[in-house]
Amino acid sequence: MTQLTKIALLFALSLFSSTVNCKFPKGFKFGTSTAAFQVEGAWLQDGKSLSAWDNLAHLPGFTSDGLAPDVGADSYNRYPEDIALMKSAGIKHYRMSIAWTRILPAARDGSPVNAVAVEHYREMLKAFIDAGITPYVTLIHGDLPMLMYLHGYGHADKYFVNDFRYYADVCFQRFGDLVKNWFTFNEPWCIAVFEGCKPEECSTMPYLVAHNVLLAHAAAVKLYRQKYAPSQGGKVGIVLNTDMFYPKDATNAKDKEAAERALAFYLGWFAEPIFSGDYPAVMKTKLGKRLPQFTEEQKAMLKGSADFFALNHYSSVVCEDGRAKEGNNYWNDMNVSMSNRKEWKLTDMGWAIVPEGIHDILVEIYKRYTRATGVPIYVTENGMANKETTREAGINDTPRIEYYQAYLKNVERAANEDGVNVQGYFAWSLLDNFEWGAGFTKRFGLVRVEVGEVPVRIPKKSLIWYRDFIAQNQ
């Protein structure tokens, strides 16, 4: 029996699984999310060059299981299987990313376009669309070309903005007839904080990286709006990540300030420039000259540079004032101690499961950024790593169903009770995939993937549950 026949059978036999009582607003979009580097494999196929992560993943001992995603889920070649799985579950929205290393193997501004890769993505996008699945495309999700570090300074390079704008231009031009929802970057916070810095540069480097990424985002959005949006009619934004931050002791003013400061240093760092035109006041005061400044022209370009608010959210923490040890760096600058409440259960990543956190962060975002602008919110990632060391445990992923039920109930509550204009939700992830430094040891998928020369996809209970949930909420 082929893999696809097995999948079809499992779906046909599965009973309508019980779901939490929710009623989402009409037209609400339910989808799944992946990223090129985490699912594509095909690391040397069709003229692709290497990303910095290709290099890292091949360093001995760098990933927890010693594996690199050279083949991984092989979605580059096996996307028809992904489409079949999504279709059978009634999932009509798919967030994916394009690999810069495939489109522009030489990476930089003006470098030649790899026609084979362009053709590949066009075929793939068409196949999704033909299956009734709308693509939402992130231009870069964690896989910056290695050449940007060999011939430059990565995201902090003085040419980065031009390089990114050129890459974005190529993508808008080649795929804009098929893609109507674009995201420039995934999680600039992670880019800035995890990019790494020499000890003597850590007091400024994260802020410089963030600044460049924000300017590159704004440049790409301006280009899209001027050159492509009028004829292509698409929308463009950026994906921001944040936890929900609670004061450890809600009656303690210092803890309350700490929670507010954490939100500013995580989300406000990017959301304030994009929705209000400048960095949060608390960061400007704290960092002084170490925080780069925007010119008036740049502020104007940034303000309003997102047609939707795209949020990745997984967990929550409680905050106390104070953490700073010696030296200026991002964490000392924020000066917040974070921990979990004792009663919170943890996922296999060690992240706390706090379903009301997604409600509370959506309400914060609505109040601060989207109520005034009318910009819709999409939850572009949410999900959990479940301990699934055997196939059996993988398929019977009840904790994941409970997580999704509880988090989705809270998204619905934000929409229905608080009037938050949240219009979409993308589960992370469709597939078990390469979880960066954790290799393949952490499983986030609605579909189990057993990696090897020929990766095997097996739908989990959570996929069947999601199918039924979507059906009840359409």
Residues that bind ligand BGC (CB under 6 A): 35, 38, 142, 186-187, 241, 312, 381, 428, 435
| Active-site pick, 81, 187, 388, 402 | 187
Shortest Cβ distance from residue 158 to ligand BGC (Å)?
27
Whether residue 187 lies in the annotated active site: yes
Shortest Cβ distance from residue 434 to ligand BGC (Å)?
8
Cβ proximity to ligand BGC: between 166 and 403 the closer is: 403
Cβ proximity to ligand BGC: between 167 and 314 the closer is: 314
Cβ proximity to ligand BGC: between 35 and 262 the closer is: 35
Whether residue 381 lies in the annotated active site: yes
Cβ proximity to ligand BGC: between 27 and 350 the closer is: 350
| Active-site pick, 381, 388, 412, 435 | 381
Cβ proximity to ligand BGC: between 128 and 428 the closer is: 428
Cβ proximity to ligand BGC: between 35 and 411 the closer is: 35
Amino acid at 164: F
By annotation, the residues acting in catalysis are: 187, 381
